[in-house]
Amino acid sequence: MALALLDVYRTTPSESSLTPVLEVAALRFMARPLRVLIFTVLGLSLMGIGMAGLNRALIIPFMRPGQKLVDQIASYRRKGRGPRIVVLGGGHGLATLLRGLKTHSANLTAIVSVADDGGSSGRLRQSLGILPPGDIRNCLAALSDDEAMLTQLFQYRFTNESN
């Protein structure tokens, strides 16, 4: 756009009715160093406003309501520098432990045993020959940022329709 305006400014004949308007827009009535300073400040200001808007647009999806942005960034950095923790286990206790540890460190690794064979897990093992997903599902939900949404997704059951 700037190149197009510059081209219009340079190629407009001096006897054109557009010339006075272009001279005022280009601040030709001011000394050259002052024009350079004004347009430099204007350009840098517009770049700063654009970068701030881009930054805000990129951060908004990750902001949690009711928390200040500075607090969220500090918490994220603190967790990222936290200790590296490996947790071994299974059952409901592992998910509870992970839920508590994720507030202190983002460097978590969970090794989940899948030896459960009670209830629906036993039926899945016998009928489909797969490992029971219950404990892994609970641990994934416990480690997620939006645990309620992921739990709701994992707890979804399809209707029993005959095809």
pLDDT block averages, 10 residues each, the chain of length 163? 76 82 82 91 96 90 81 84 89 88 89 76 76 83 86 80 59
What are phi and psi for residue 143, nearest 5 degrees?
A: -85, -15
pLDDT of residue 117: 66
Query: Which tokens belong to 73?
Result: 């960034």
pLDDT of residue 21: 82
Question: What is the spatial distance between Cα 151 and Cα 141, in angstroms, rounded to a whole number?
Answer: 6
pLDDT of residue 42: 94
Contact between residue 87 and residue 94 where contact means Cβ atoms under 8 Å apart: yes
Contact between residue 142 and residue 130 where contact means Cβ atoms under 8 Å apart: no
Question: What is the spatial distance between Cα 112 and Cα 131, in angstroms, rounded to a whole number?
Answer: 12
pLDDT of residue 53: 94
* Residue type present at position 141: A
Other beta carbons within 10 Å of 87: 14
pLDDT of residue 163: 52
pLDDT of residue 146: 81
* Residue type present at position 28: R
